Structure 1
Amino acid sequence: MRQERRWVYYVGLAVVAAIWGANFGVSRKGMETFDPVLFAFLRFSLALPFFFLLLKLKEGNVGMPAKTLLRLAVLGLVGITGLEIAVMYSIKYTTLANASLLNVAPWPIFAALFGPFFLRERITSRLVTGGIAAIIGVCFVILGGGEGFDVSSGNMLGNLLAFGVSIVGASFNLACMPLMRQYSALRVSTWYTAFGVVFMFPLTLPSWGKVSWTALGGSEYTAILFNVFVCTVFAFIVWNAGMFKIGAARANFFRYVVPASAVAAGYLFFDESVSGWQLVGTAFMAAGLVWISLERRAPTAVLQ
């Protein structure tokens, strides 16, 4: 891939990670009205028709061989039903600082560690050094904030869920690779999302009656639409295109933009302060990601 062409994908990954960072606050706001399970269900069930439409327009059909449906059902149960509900509850039951750090920081590390078991991605010295710099940077961004990292017992459930998301999420990404060698990222993800939505629906039944639907205002609808179209449909397409071209380990390090984006959103929209340590951390993180992005490598098919 030409060097100038690669930068398109790196920028795309950074933009998507920034969107996901801003969504920590949006999701917490949404869960003031919706139960976490219902909020996750609304996000993926409303996005699903658009995935099928895109699949039909891009590839001409939406079918999937029956022999692969069981594998896709397991992926949907783990990656959508289980993982996305855990993400919502981690945001609800711990601080945003804890959630953004524990959801994000370990994920690329586990992706790099588990990668050799699923695909042939070489761990290079540039990836290691750039990754270390990015890890240091993201820790400064979180720990340098006024909220800091709180290990009190009141946040322990959310902390454990957030850390588990990193382990399961990285494994889930990599477990999709065998199917990705046979079918497109769009086709595989559309179908495991469909199964995930089906499995999630029964869990939402106690929650529908708790919402005063006629009283919903602009902020609630904005939170839903942002999650559906920006964080799911748009982000899925851009992230998968970037990961397909540059590989799982490198792409996942761009997740370190997430907490920096969350801090920036807090500063711009919620009048939160930004400390000098956070600025230093942002510089470390940016330097690490730029260093990783300068390495030439062959493309590998991967999935968000």
Structure 2
Amino acid sequence: MDKKWMYYVGLVVVAIIWGANFGVSRQAMETFDPILFSFLRFGLAIPFFFILLKLTEGSVGIPVKVALQLAAIGLLGITTLEIAVMYSIKYTTLANASLLNVAPWPIFAALFGPLFMREGISSRLVVGGMAAMIGVCFIILGGGEGLDVSSDHMLGNLLAFGVSFFGAIFNVACMPLMKRYSSLRVSTWMILFGSIFMFPLTIGSWSKVDWGGLTGGHYTAIGYNVLICTVLAFVVWNASMFKIGATRANFFRYVVPASAVTAGYIFFNEAISSWQLAGTIFMVAGLIWISLERRPTQPTVPIDQVS
């Protein structure tokens, strides 16, 4: 099997993991403040990242200049985006948040890509991306809530759309650094800085949790978020994105809503409509069309290294 399939499979698996996390974490949100739960997810993952980095690469350090870059990326991609996602869900419907968080993201990644690296955009990518985007719209809007564009949800809608905009910048900004350092090293330091910036925002939330009353379900949700959704998922996603390219890789985010719908069906007996099934077919067809491109993916080269 062509080695590039390993990276496409990695993207799909991570997207499924992130989508399933909607079901895993929903009940935990009744106990934990959303920002505190996000901090636990990333903060508890930090030791695992550094241990893994030391074992696999023999060192953990980065130059001061790179640390400053990763601090800025962590502030944007971990602290700001995670909080924006939480509050977009709070101030708009789940359907609105899902659609605006996910659907525009790959488009922005394609637009911002030339600012950080050179990636070709083929006709196959355009066609497959459009099919996948149509599919994800069917998946999200085919649910019970539908799209609500009333003024009551304007703040949440703007936050959700901002997640796509700045999330794409966050993704492509990582690419030049992963040309010089491993995806594991970049992920480790990015998450460290993002957690440091997030911590002050959790200070008022710790005392509100009945820590002695936590159940096995709460610990399972935390463990899943720390070990699977963060340590495993970030390493695999960033490594695969670097090999495939940010533009192509981000279209695989469209698997997340399909996985979330499936998790809702499994964990909460939520119905799956015919529109959502049709959307899944469109999305899968589009992603397969993208991944079958025979033209080899060119290595991503930061612009400042191109003669």
- The TM-score with structure 2 as length reference comes to 0.93
Aligned-residue offset at 1:202: 1.0
Residues 299 and 224 of structure 1, relative CA distance in 2, 3 Å threshold? farther
> In structure 2, which of residues 268, 272, 275 is the aligned counterpart of residue 270 of structure 1?
268
Aligned residue number for residue 194 of structure 2:
196
Aligned-residue offset at 1:90: 2.3
Aligned residue number for residue 17 of structure 2:
19
> In structure 2, which of residues 100, 103, 107 is the aligned counterpart of residue 102 of structure 1?
100
Residues 144 and 89 of structure 1, relative CA distance in 2, 3 Å threshold? same
Aligned residue number for residue 242 of structure 2:
244
In the alignment, residue 289 of structure 1 is paired with which amino acid?
L
Aligned-residue offset at 1:261: 0.8
Paired residue secondary structure (2:253): helix
- Is 1:139 paired with 2:149? no
CA contact (8 A) 2:16 2:255 kept: yes
User: In structure 2, how many angstroms separate the alpha carbons of the residues matched to 1:236 and 1:88?
Assistant: 19
- 1:62-141, aligned counterparts within 5 Å? 62-141=60-139
Aligned residue number for residue 51 of structure 1:
49
- The TM-score with structure 1 as length reference comes to 0.94
> In structure 2, which of residues 167, 173, 176 is the aligned counterpart of residue 175 of structure 1?
173
Aligned-residue offset at 1:206: 0.7
CA contact (8 A) 1:36 1:88 kept: yes
> In structure 2, which of residues 4, 7, 11 is the aligned counterpart of residue 6 of structure 1?
4
Aligned residue number for residue 160 of structure 2:
162
CA contact (8 A) 2:22 2:263 kept: no
Q: Aligned residues, how many?
A: 300
In the alignment, residue 82 of structure 1 is paired with which amino acid?
T
User: In structure 2, how many angstroms separate the alpha carbons of the residues matched to 1:34 and 1:160?
Assistant: 25
CA contact (8 A) 1:100 1:258 kept: no
In the alignment, residue 143 of structure 1 is paired with which amino acid?
L
Q: Which moved more, 1:154-163 or 1:291-300?
A: 154-163
Task: Describe the superposition over 1:117-159 as per-residue Cα deviations: whole angstroms up to 9, x where unpaired.
Answer: 2111011100000000001101111111122222344433332
In the alignment, residue 129 of structure 1 is paired with which amino acid?
V
Aligned-residue offset at 1:191: 1.0
> In structure 1, which of residues 206, 227, 230 is the aligned counterpart of residue 228 of structure 2?
230
User: In structure 2, how many angstroms separate the alpha carbons of the residues matched to 1:25 and 1:95?
Assistant: 16
Aligned-residue offset at 1:96: 2.6
User: In structure 2, how many angstroms separate the alpha carbons of the residues matched to 1:298 and 1:79?
Assistant: 26
Residues 301 and 88 of structure 1, relative CA distance in 2, 3 Å threshold? farther
Residues 70 and 89 of structure 1, relative CA distance in 2, 3 Å threshold? same
Structure 1 unaligned segments of length 5 or more: list them: none
Paired residue secondary structure (1:146): coil
Aligned-residue offset at 1:225: 1.1
Aligned residue number for residue 299 of structure 2:
300
CA contact (8 A) 2:119 2:298 kept: no
User: In structure 2, how many angstroms separate the alpha carbons of the residues matched to 1:19 and 1:300?
Assistant: 27
In the alignment, residue 167 of structure 2 is paired with which amino acid?
G
CA contact (8 A) 1:243 1:301 kept: no
In the alignment, residue 75 of structure 1 is paired with which amino acid?
I
Task: Describe the superposition over 1:135-186 as per-residue Cα deviations: whole angstroms up to 9, x where unpaired.
Answer: 1101111111122222344433332222111110100111122322221111
Task: Describe the superposition over 1:237-272 as per-residue Cα deviations: whole angstroms up to 9, x where unpaired.
Answer: 221222122111111100001111111111122111
CA contact (8 A) 2:23 2:267 kept: no
Task: Describe the superposition over 1:22-71 as per-residue Cα deviations: whole angstroms up to 9, x where unpaired.
Answer: 21233332221111111110000000111101110111000111232222
Aligned-residue offset at 1:299: 4.5
- Is 1:209 paired with 2:207? yes
Aligned-residue sequence identity (percent) comes to 73
In the alignment, residue 276 of structure 1 is paired with which amino acid?
S
Structure 2 unaligned segments of length 5 or more: list them: 302-307
